[in-house]
């Protein structure tokens, strides 16, 4: 029998992410993992969000518009690059406040692999949450050839200090 209380008492935490106090303006985060986007990802995302542009789910239609295959839905490119950045930037929790100046810069196709990095643009205290702060980052996403395919500025409320860190 496992004694769960003893297990909890013995285990050391392995916390994830960063709080506001772990960041400095100008700091660059190279984000983990990367993600190869498949046609299945794209079709499911596009149909589940009712994003009915045939470029994203009809190969013949995409070919008639000078693409060799379907195009990855730009909103999936945005969410994937955003997702890759979450652990480093905003996993500590708090409201996602907004995005400014998002530019889609290159077409992404099934089989392309995205990676992401972010730079800290500004850090300030929150009036409403003394244990939190408001951070703005410039996030960029790249394909496997190092070509930038997206950039945006994101602002989020995050914890000042991470539990257990």
Partner 1 sequence: MTTTPDTLTANDNYFEAFEPGQVFRHARGRTITEMDNVLITLQVMNTAQGHFNEHRMASSPFGQRINFGGITASFIIGLASQDTAEQALLEMGLDKIRFTNPVFHGDTLYAFSEVLAVDDAPREDAGVITFRHIGINQDDKVVFTGERRVMLKRRSHWGRA
Q: Indicate whether 11 belongs to the interface with partner 1 (CB under 8 A).
A: no
Determine which helix (DSSP H) or strand (DSSP E) holds 159, and give its type and residue range: strand 148-159
Q: Indicate whether 54 belongs to the interface with partner 1 (CB under 8 A).
A: yes
Tell which residue, 112, 157, 100, 117, has the closest CA to residue 133: 157
CA distance 142 to 117: 9
Q: Indicate whether 165 belongs to the interface with partner 1 (CB under 8 A).
A: no
CA distance 140 to 151: 4
Tell which residue, 40, 33, 47, 50, has the closest CA to residue 110: 40
List the interface residues with partner 1, window 130-149 (CB under 8 A). none
Q: Indicate whether 53 belongs to the interface with partner 1 (CB under 8 A).
A: yes
Q: Could you tell me how many residues make up the chain?
A: 165
Q: Which of 21, 22, 59, 87 binds partner 1 (CB under 8 A)?
A: 87
Binding residues for partner 1, total number by CB under 8 A: 47
Q: Which is nearer to partner 1, 11 or 26 (CB)?
A: 11
Q: Which is nearer to partner 1, 26 or 33 (CB)?
A: 33
Q: Indicate whether 91 belongs to the interface with partner 1 (CB under 8 A).
A: yes
């Amino acid at each position: 029998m496992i004694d769960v209380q003893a297990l909890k008492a013995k285990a050391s935490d392995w916390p994830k992410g960063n709080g506001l106090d772990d960041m400095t303006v100008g700091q660059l985060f190279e984000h983990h993992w990367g993600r190869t986007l498949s046609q299945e990802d794209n079709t499911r995302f596009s149909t589940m969000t009712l994003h009915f542009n045939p470029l994203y789910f009809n190969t013949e239609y995409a070919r008639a518009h000078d693409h060799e295959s379907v195009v990855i839905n730009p909103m999936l490119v945005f969410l994937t690059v955003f997702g890759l950045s979450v652990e480093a930037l905003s996993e500590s929790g708090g409201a996602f406040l907004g995005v400014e100046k998002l530019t889609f810069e290159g077409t992404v196709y099934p089989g392309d692999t995205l990676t992401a990095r972010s730079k800290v643009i500004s850090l300030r205290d929150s009036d409403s949450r003394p244990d939190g702060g408001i951070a703005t980052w410039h996030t960029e996403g790249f394909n496997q050839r190092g070509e930038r395919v997206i950039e945006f500025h994101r602002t989020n409320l995050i914890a000042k200090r991470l539990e257990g860190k």
